[in-house]
Structure 1
C-alpha cells in the first residue's frame, strides 16, 4: 500500500464521562478507572426497578456561547449534542494544528448524534416557552430550525468555516465509526483534503440512571461487564468525540503529527439473516471484519488487538465473539480483545469514535488497557474458539502493532476499521531547535480565557520535551485569530514558562514590535518548525439550559 492509499489520524479530541479531553481519558483507561456514576440522591427517582447508574458528563448544561457566536436565548434552545460536537471538533482541529481560516485545504465533516432528547423532554410543551407568556423565545419553533440530527455536520461546518462535504450519519451505536469510514473514503476519492469525523450523544439529560424493563438490555446491577460471566446488560452514558483525518502522503508532506494510520475499513448490514430487527447477525459481523481485512490484504493473524463492540449483553457479546471466531478460524496465537464500554458505558452515537481513539492510543503507545470488570468469560462467549483473550489489566504491546475496531448499530449496520502505528517520520531539521528569539502568540475569546491559555501552555512547556520553535510554529499556523491576543518573546522553554506564567497572573503585556503587531492585527511571524500537540482552548462555559417541563 502507498501513502496515498492510507489515512492518517492527525488530530483527535473527546469529552466523555470522567475526562474532558483525550489525554485524561487515556490515563483513566490505563488506570482501569470506571467513570460510570452510581449514586442515589435527592431528586433522583427510586422505587422498584430503578438503577441509579449512568455515564455522567460534567457541566452538560454549560456552553461557551460567545465563542461560537450564539446569543444566550439561542444557546439555551440548542441541542446539547450539537454543543458537545462543536467543542470536540474545535479541539480536534487544534490537536491537528489546523486553522481553517489560514489553511487552504478543503475540510469535510462527517458526523451524527442521537435523538434530540433535550427537545423532547425540556422544550416541547414547556409553559416557559409559550408565546406571550414572557417566553424565552417568542417564536421558539422557528428558533429551533436546524437543531435536528441532520444539521450536526452543517452546523459544525458553518461555525468553523469549513467548505468540504458536510454529511450526517445515522446508524445508531455505529454512527461515529461509520462516519470515520465515510470520511476516509471521501479523502481517498479526493472529495476533500481534510475530514473531521465523529459523533455526539446525550442519551439522558437527567443523567441519573434508568428503570429496568422485562426483557430489556440494561444491566440489573448498573455495571457494564463486557464479555464477562457476570454480565447482565449495558449501561449508557453521554459524550462526544472526533478525529481529524488526512491522506497519509499529505500529512507527511505537511509535517503533521500522525497519531496512527487507518489502513482499511468496511461497512455493511446484517440484512434479514438474524432472528429479529434488534438482534445482531453473526454472518454480517463476520463479513464486515473479513471485508476490511481483504481490502488491505491482511490476514486475521496480523491483528494483535481488537477494540470490540462489547456492550455487556450476554447475547450480543456471544454473537460478536462467534463472528470473530469465524474470521479467525485457523489464525495462530491469541488476539487481545477489549471494550471501552466497561469504563464509560455505551455512548450511543459517539461510541465508535471513542473506541477508535482508544485503539489509536494503543498502537501509538504500545499499551493495551484492561477491560474493566472482567473476571472470566461468560459461558456463551467462546473466547477459545476465536483464539482470543480478555485482560483485566493493562498489558504492554511489543512488535508490530495493528488493531481492529468494531462498532455494531441497532438495526444491523456494522463498521470495522483497521488501525496501525504511524510510519517513522523523517529526521527533523534540528536547526529549528537552535537558540534564538521566537514569538509565542496567544489568542482567545475573552481575557479570562487568554490567561488560562497562558497558564496551560506554561505548564505544558515546563514538561521540557518541546522546542519553543515548534510551539511558535504551531501557534502561528494552527490556532485561530480571536478578539483578545497577547504574545511573549523567548529564546528557550525556561524563559517561555516564566513569561507565560506572568501573563497568566495578569502581568504586564509584552511591548516589543512583534507583540504589538499581533495584538493589533493578528500578524505573527511563522517560525520554521513542526506541528506539535499543545493544550486545547479553555472554553468558558456558562449555563444555557431550560429545565424540563413540569
Structure 2
C-alpha cells in the first residue's frame, strides 16, 4: 500500500430512501429503485403545475427539518438558511463523530471541502429582492458555515464544478492532507432539488425519471436530493491513532476536457481517458488491479458511449472481456447533481469493504454504441462478488471538469484478544429527549452488531460531553444493553458490585465533573450511532 494513501475514517449521509449510510447500502444490495414518482397533490404542495416537468426525482424525506439549537443558529436565520447548508452541517458533524474526531479537543487542523447545487429554496420560496443575507443562501458559504458552526480552523473551500463538485472536493481534500495543510479533512457535497426538470430528446432528464445507464433505452436520469460527507486522514496517522478505516484512497486526479469535444456541454473522450489514467498512475496500479468502476453513468446514449470508450482507452488492451464490473449509483437514486460524485464514492467504499458490487438497475439491452464484447467491462445485473477489491470512481461535470478516485480495501491489523473487566460507557446529549434517543440507538446497535466492549468504551469516551448525561457500568455487551434499557426506564445503571473508584468517576462525570477517558490502551475507535438531532421544521411555504 502506498505511503501516500489517505484513509476514509468516517462517513455520513442521507440519500433518497435512506436516512443514513447503512440504510443506503442495504437499499443498494436489495436493488431498490428509490426515485420517487410524485402525485398530483405532492406537486401542488410544491407549487408545480402538473405536466410542466417530469414528475419524478430522488426525494429526500424530512428536508425541511433542522436542529438549529444544536448548531446555535437562531430560528429566523435557520428559516432563511439554504437547506443544503443545514443538511451539510448535520452530516459534517456526524462524519466527524463517526471518525472519532471532536474539533474542540483535536490537536490538529480540520479542513472542509465541499460543493452544493444552486439554491433553489432561495429561487422558488425566498427571493423577495433581499440580498442582504449572503451567508444563508450562497453556495460560496457552504464550507465557511461548517467551519464557523463546528469550529474548524483548517482550509474551508467551496468547490463548484457542477456534477463533479463533490468528487473534486474529495481530491482537493486528499491532496491537502498529503501537503499537511490539515490533519483531518471533511469532503462531500449536497443537493436539494424538486421535480422542476423537463425531458428533451438528447437531454439529461429521462421521460420517466429512471436512469438506464449503459442501456439501449437510456435517455438520461431524474435529478434528486442527497448529501454525503467523508472524514479523511493520512493513513499513517489513522493507524497510529487507532481509527476505524473504511477503505483507503490510493490515487486521484482532476482535469478538464479542454476544447477537444463537440461543444461546451459535450463530454470529451480524451479528457476522460486522461484523468482515469492519471489516477491509476498516481496510485501506482495497473488496470488489472481494478475490479470495479463506479462510473459517472448519466444514462444518456452519447454520454455513456463516450465514457465507456474513454475507460477502454485508459485501461488499454490485454484484459479479458467481462473482467471488470461497471455500474452507476444513478440507477438507484437518480442524479444527485453536486452530491452525485460522493454518493458514488460511498457506494464504492462499501463495495470494496464488503467485497460485493450491487446490481446495476434498469439494464436489459446494451447501448449499441458501446462495444462491451471487446472491452474488459461488464454491467452486473445482480449483486456480484468483488474479488479484486479496488475500485475506480468517476464523476464528470458539465463544462468538462472530470475527477477520478481509486479506492482500495483495507485489511484490519491483527489484534490481541479483549481483556475483561468493568467498562464505563458515557452517553450525553444537549436535551433529555435527545439523550433518550441516544441511549435507545446505542442499545439497539449493541444488540444487532457484534463489537468489542473496550472499543465501545474508547469511542464513547472520545466524544464531546453535553449537558444531559448518563453512564453505564458493565462487564460485557449484554450487561451494557441491560444498563442502557434500565436508564431509559428511569433506573440506575451503576451496579453495587462495580469498583468503588469506577463508580465515583462515573458519578462525578454524570454531575459534570472530571473525565471518563479509559486508562487502558489498545482499544480502537469504531462506528457507533451518531448524535440524534432533534429537528424542527424550518421552511418557507409556497406563496407565504
Does the pair score TM above 0.5?
Answer: yes
Report deviation, 1:214: 5.5
The count of corresponding residues between Structure 1 and Structure 2 is 528
Deviations 1:467-514 (A, max 9, x none): 22211110111x222221111111111111011012234445759423
Secondary structure of the 2:78 match is helix
Number of the residue aligned with 2:528: 534
Report deviation, 1:281: 0.5
Structure 2 CA distance for partners of 1:522 and 1:29, relative to 1, 3 Å: farther
Number of the residue aligned with 1:262: 249
Report deviation, 1:525: 2.4
Unaligned runs of 5+ in 1: 127-139
Deviations 1:250-282 (A, max 9, x none): 111111111111100100000111111111100
1:438 alignment partner, one of 411, 414, 423: 423
After the TM superposition, which residues 124-523 of structure 1 pair with which residues of structure 2 at under 5 Å, given as runs?
A: 124-125=127-128, 141-204=131-194, 208=195, 210-213=197-200, 215-333=202-320, 334-398=323-387, 400-425=388-413, 427-430=414-417, 433-463=418-448, 465-477=450-462, 479-508=463-492, 512-521=503-512, 523=514
Structure 2 CA distance for partners of 1:474 and 1:47, relative to 1, 3 Å: closer
1:49/1:213 contact within 8 Å kept: no
| Whole-Å separation in 2 of the counterparts to 1:175 and 1:392 | 28
Report deviation, 1:373: 1.1
The RMSD of aligned alpha carbons is 1.8
2:81/2:136 contact within 8 Å kept: no
Report deviation, 1:382: 2.3
Secondary structure of the 1:125 match is coil
2:203/2:219 contact within 8 Å kept: no
1:451/1:506 contact within 8 Å kept: no
1:123/1:548 contact within 8 Å kept: no
Number of the residue aligned with 2:120: 117
Report deviation, 1:64: 0.6
2:112/2:186 contact within 8 Å kept: yes
TM-score normalised over the length of structure 2: 0.93
Q: Does 1:101 align with 2:101?
A: no
Report deviation, 1:91: 1.1
Report deviation, 1:387: 1.8
| Whole-Å separation in 2 of the counterparts to 1:522 and 1:18 | 42
1:80 alignment partner, one of 60, 78, 83: 83
Report deviation, 1:14: 0.9
2:203/2:300 contact within 8 Å kept: no
Deviations 1:268-320 (A, max 9, x none): 00011111111110010000001111122222222110000001111111110
Deviations 1:75-130 (A, max 9, x none): 1011000011111111111111111212212111011111111111111128xxxx
| Whole-Å separation in 2 of the counterparts to 1:358 and 1:327 | 22
Deviations 1:222-274 (A, max 9, x none): 21111111211111110100111111111111111111111001000001111
